[in-house]
Structure 1
Amino acid sequence: METRSNHVLVGSVVLGLLAALAIFTVWLAQLGGGSETKYDIFFKQSVDGLAKGSSVSFSGVPSGQVDEIALWPRDPEFVRVRIRVKSETPVLQGTTATIQGVGFTGVSQIMLDGAVKGAPPITDIGPGGVPVIPTKPGALGELLSNAPQLLERLTTLTERLTLLLSDRNQASIAGILDNVEKLSGSLAERGPEIAATLAQTRIAIEQAGNAAEEIGKLAGTTNDLLDKEGRPLMADLRKTVASAKASMDTLDAAIGDARPGLQAFSKQTVPEVGQLVRDLRDMSEALTAVATRLDRGGAGALVGSPKLPDYKKKGK
């Protein structure tokens, strides 16, 4: 009877200690949970490598862990990941979440970054009853989302390389390489000639530069000469033009004054001069006739009539 009573007492003490330990553990859990904040993250991509208890870091600093991973029943395209982070973690407006692989182990973690300095914390309650941190595609997510396009481009590149490296193109490339080799040999053989040509070209360029410099000096001298001697010449030329203009004006005035006299001369004097010329021509003809008579018959020819010729009768 006493032995059974001892067992009951020991059992009671043990149960009391276990109850006290459970209460203490719950108290510690509640005490530790008060310094952490829960957030939901909705990923529209695979969360492969992520598990309950996976690390959550903020800019590379460990700040919490994953509490729960489940499909979102309202939209199966999304995966809801609930995390717990330390209350002092600056989860401010602008903070985003990405899934980042850890080395080649296949294990992933959640990376938080992008908080804006001075911005308020994320406190808007989401559909899960806790604030929601927006996501952005990580390197792995971008690679997986762009994988079909990348494979298509790789296929196209492979096809083009196959066409490029066809037998015909390979023969053409071999011919091009042969020609390049021949050209390189020819250039090597003509190296001295090319060097001499380059030297002559350098000399020609220097001479051209000297000539350009001399032309510049000549242009400067010409400008000085025009400035010093051209201006007096221009002044004299201007005076000459002014004098010529004055002379032309005077000549125009003289012609205007003489125009009435020229009209009278052309209307009156010219006809009288014509009549005088005709009279002189008649007088000249008369004098010519008198001179002819004097030559033929002497002075008598002017006062008497010409003698008739004597006629003799035949047979008497």
Structure 2
Amino acid sequence: METRSNHVLVGAVVLILLALLALFTVWIARLGGADEKEYDIFFRQSVEGLARGSAVTFAGVPIGQVEEIALWRPDPQYVRVRVRVNDETPILQGTTASISGVGFTGVSQITLDGARRGAPPIVCPEENPQRVCPYGVPVIPTRPGGVAAILNSAPQLLERLSTLTDRLTGLLTDRNQASVAGILENTDRLTDALADRGPEIAETLAQTRLAVRQAGDAAQQVGELADTADRVLANDVQPTIANLNRTINSAQRSADALGEAIGDARPGLQAFSKQTIPEVGLLVRDLRRTSEAFAQIAERVEQGGAGSLVGQQKLPDYKGK
């Protein structure tokens, strides 16, 4: 009876110690994790090589590890990776995550990079946090890189290689090969013909160089002629043009003076045309009448003498038969 009591006491003490050890372990874990932060990363690519405990680096510096890897239920194309990093790590706006390989071991790690100085940290917004942080922790955006980018583009590369192979196969048919052989044969003949005409080609090149030299001399002469023409224009034509300009200016001033004189004489001309000309007409009529009277007097004097001016004209003497 006493032995059974001792076993029960020992068992109770052991259970209590185990419970205390478990509590201490949880406390240590919480104490150690108090200086760490969790983030989610959604990769739309293969995460082959990642596992729980894989390293997380920032610019090559280890800062944490992978805590969880799972498919995202709303869209299975994405893989959700939960990482735990040091609290002092600057996870700021602009930071991106990528998967990179570690040597040739086939093991991968998550690399963070791209934080901007002075940018705010990545946090969940206070309004509608579920839209940005579906699992209650901030989300770090991704960018393809390293081996993951190559693996993601491998299907497209293989497809393009297959398409290129098919096109090359269609291009290298018997007919096309015969055409290529004909082209090469024609090229050989053309090369031989050029080799045979080498001296003629050399002579043609020499004549071309001579023509170029002559063209250069002609261009130089044209330049000298242009300089001479410039000097002639500067020494002869320009003074003549200056004299002509002065003459034109003088004629313009004379025309302006004549116009002013005509403007000043216009009132007198108007008065002359309205008053003097009618009076001159009356004077001309009077002069015409006076001349007619003088003509009559002259005729009377001629016929009857001077006495006819003071008396009546005598009748001619009558002679009887």
TM-based fold match above 0.5 = yes
In the alignment, residue 156 of structure 1 is paired with which amino acid? T
Distance in 2 separating the partners of 1:216 and 1:16: 113
- Pair 1:76-2:76 in alignment: yes
Match status 1:208 vs 2:207 = no
Aligned to 1:99: 99
Cα–Cα, structure 1 residues 149 and 22, in superposed 2: closer, same or farther, change >3 Å?
closer
Matches within 5 A, 1:24-173: 25-124=25-124, 126-173=133-180
Structure 1 segments unaligned to the other structure (5+ residues): 240-316
Asked if the contact 2:101/2:146 (under 8 Å) is kept, the reply is no
Q: Distance in 2 between matches of 1:133 and 1:233?
A: 86
For these two proteins, the number of residue pairs brought into alignment is: 238
Tell which deviates more after alignment, 14-23 or 197-206.
14-23
Q: Quick one: which amino acid aligns to residue 226 of structure 2?
A: A
- SS of 1:200's partner is helix
CA distance in 2, matches of 1:233, 1:78: 91
Q: Which runs of 5+ in 2 are unaligned?
A: 248-321
SS in 1 for 2:70: strand
In structure 2, the residue corresponding to 1:67 is in which secondary structure?
strand
The 2-side partners of 1:20 and 1:107 are apart by 38
Q: Residues 41 and 232 of structure 1: is their aligned pair in 2 closer, same or farther, counting only changes over 3 Å?
A: closer
**One-letter code aligned to 2:33:** G
Cα separation, 1, equivalents of 2:190 and 2:95: 62
Please state how far the C-alpha of 1:136 moved relative to its aligned partner: 2.5
Aligned-partner SS, 1:51: coil
- Deviation for aligned residue 1:53: 0.7
Which whole-Å CA distance do the structure 1 matches of 2:143 and 2:97 have between them?
Answer: 6
Which deviates more from structure 2 when the two are superposed, residues 77-86 or residues 96-105?
96-105
Q: How high is the TM-score relative to the length of structure 2? A: 0.61
User: Matches of residues 247-266 of structure 1 in structure 2 within 5 Å?
Assistant: none
Percent of pairs with identical residues = 66
What pairs with 1:5-16 in structure 2 (closer than 5 Å)? none
- TM (normalized to structure 1)? 0.62
Give the conservation status (yes or no) of the 8 Å contact 2:46–2:152.
no
SS for the counterpart of 1:73 is coil
For the aligned residue pairs, the C-alpha RMSD in angstroms reads 3.5
Secondary structure of 1:65 counterpart: strand
Closer/same/farther in 2, CA of residues 166 and 4 from structure 1, 3 Å limit: same
